[in-house]
Chains A and B, each alone.
Chain A
Amino acid sequence: MNFFFYLAAAIALISTIMAISGRNAIHALLNLIISLLAVSVIFYLLDAPFIAALEVIIYAGAIMVLFIFVTMMLNIGTEKKIEKRWLNPRVWIVPSILAALLLVDFILIINGLQIPEPVDETLNTKQVGISLFSTYVLAVEIAGILLMAGVIGAYHLGSQKKKVTHRFLKK
């Protein structure tokens, strides 16, 4: 079991690094999808099959398709000139130092924490549902309101009538 965990973790790390550093937009997105799949495997190994399935259905299966759809439509292919300037090694110095500081901070905090013992049982869907709609019902409703804002925004954008010149589509 541990071997699979480390394998999935390694795949997730490598593909994420490739997603960040890749210069081809679609290839970067594909690497991100692989990373999400690897995270899903980790969830499954941690006895949370429901979350693993949702990770694949929602993130890898729906959101990333939309990303790829938009990237395809805008025809963002290979690198641009401005990106080459951004990828100049000198630009990376300050962010790297800051990130390293954060990493040290993080390690120190983690070392001081009392990590609770992992629960050794498979979490089934019913338990997830019950805890979502009892303990975390407020968070669920807030998330619902947030999504509602997105729906209203999409409705607003879509409701503006375009002038249609196609003879079949005209009302």
Chain B
Amino acid sequence: MNYLWIILGVIFIALSIAAGLIWVERRLLSVWQDRLGPNRVGPFGLAQVIADTLKLFFKEDWVPPFSDKVVFTIAPGILMVTILLTFAVIPFGPEFCVFDSNIGVLFFLGNSSLGVYSIVLGGWASNNKYSLIGAMRASAQMLTYEVFMGLSLMGVVMMADTFSFSEIVEAQRGGWFILPQFLGFVVFFIAGIAETHRLPFDIPEAEGELIAGYHSEYSGMKFGMFFVGEYLGITLISAIIATMFFGGWLGPSFLPPVFWFLLKTFIFIGVFILLRASLPRPRYDQLMKLGWKLLFPIALLNLLVTGAILIFL
């Protein structure tokens, strides 16, 4: 396959899934909450996304005069860049990967830790009390969950003996890693929700207490970038769960590998949305306690047991 087509294909898939998710989420939430959701624009309300995007583009792009203008402007871009870059190392299928890096997992972890800056700087540069509180919560939350997000993946890395995503997929031909690495999966999934600051862990934006948290002052397409960035983050975490624990593009051969990969990804996206529909938001200190006192020891224990089994068996 032509290299340029792979790059364009990956960007197209990632962005269109993220944009389409706005509609999918609203419709799914309505189904679970016994209402209809957006159903006026186009068939089944599918053109709602286009209408929303057009509206965002035509909104006034307001930069507050009291803000730190340079940082305020680059902050939403950082989020998009870090997440889109990570899609480069994920294998969508055999040979369908932009950059099959031998440090793929580390690349993902590095980019996700750089993504924190977007939220922290956006909140700080807004020069608004609510934004600042949101930014401080975000930095503490994401720094905490990053620690064992990395640790929970290390079990898989030890079993596959590589940091490369495509080799991890190949290593799962004998069986998916979800069974031997179930604890790692649970910890990674919870950490993934916290990293994308989705409900129930949307404490940085907690609209009940902080207006909209770190993006209170954002409008127009800058807000749109945070908005789409969140959906891109969900897609990314789901894709990584599918790759690391559920065999990536592996599947029965009557359908193309890309289909299996997207199917697995979409199942986890659905779980993300279901979580939003069903769980209340914990308090900030409860989130921290859960992270450091429960998930962190579980991740370490998982690492220890996996290492012991790999060495002695």
Q: Which of A50, A54, A62, A65 contacts B120 (CB 8 A)?
A: A65
Pairwise interchain contact A30-B132, C-beta atoms closer than 8 A:
no
Task: List the B side residues contacting A125 at CB < 8 Å.
Answer: 103, 163
Query: Interface size of B by Cβ–Cβ distance < 8 Å?
Result: 29
CB-CB under 8 A for A26 and B68, given A49-B103, A62-B146: yes
Pairwise interchain contact B106-A53, C-beta atoms closer than 8 A:
yes
Task: List the A side residues contacting B135 at CB < 8 Å.
Answer: 72
Query: Interface size of A by Cβ–Cβ distance < 8 Å?
Result: 25
CB-CB under 8 A for A62 and B143, given A69-B120, A73-B136: yes
Q: Which of A27, A56, A168 contacts B114 (CB 8 A)?
A: A56
Pairwise interchain contact A169-B285, C-beta atoms closer than 8 A:
yes
Task: List the B side residues contacting A153 at CB < 8 Å.
Answer: none
Whether B48 sits at the interface, judged by CB under 8 Å, is no
Residue of B nearest to A40 (CB): B110
Pairwise interchain contact B103-A57, C-beta atoms closer than 8 A:
no
Q: Interface of chain B, helix or strand or loop or mixed?
A: helix
Residue of A nearest to B106 (CB): A53
Pairwise interchain contact A26-B124, C-beta atoms closer than 8 A:
yes
A140 CA / B310 CA spacing, docked (Å):
23
Task: List the A side residues contacting B136 at CB < 8 Å.
Answer: 69, 72-73
A54 CA / B294 CA spacing, docked (Å):
26
Whether B176 sits at the interface, judged by CB under 8 Å, is no
Whether B18 sits at the interface, judged by CB under 8 Å, is no
Residue of A nearest to B124 (CB): A72
Whether A46 sits at the interface, judged by CB under 8 Å, is no
Pairwise interchain contact B139-A53, C-beta atoms closer than 8 A:
no
Whether A33 sits at the interface, judged by CB under 8 Å, is yes
Whether B306 sits at the interface, judged by CB under 8 Å, is no
Whether A9 sits at the interface, judged by CB under 8 Å, is no
Task: List the A side residues contacting B68 at CB < 8 Å.
Answer: 26
Pairwise interchain contact B113-A124, C-beta atoms closer than 8 A:
no
Whether B109 sits at the interface, judged by CB under 8 Å, is yes
Pairwise interchain contact A53-B116, C-beta atoms closer than 8 A:
no
Whether A144 sits at the interface, judged by CB under 8 Å, is no
Pairwise interchain contact B117-A33, C-beta atoms closer than 8 A:
yes
Task: List the B side residues contacting A53 at CB < 8 Å.
Answer: 103, 106-107, 109-110
Q: Which of A27, A65, A169 contacts B113 (CB 8 A)?
A: A65
CB-CB under 8 A for A68 and B113, given A30-B71, A50-B106: no
Pairwise interchain contact A69-B103, C-beta atoms closer than 8 A:
no
* 11 cross-chain CB contacts under 8 A: A30-B121, A60-B110, A61-B114, A62-B146, A65-B117, A65-B120, A65-B143, A69-B140, A69-B143, A124-B102, A125-B163
Further pairs besides A65-B117, A72-B139: 7, Cβ < 8 Å: A30-B121, A53-B110, A56-B110, A61-B146, A69-B143, A72-B136, A168-B283
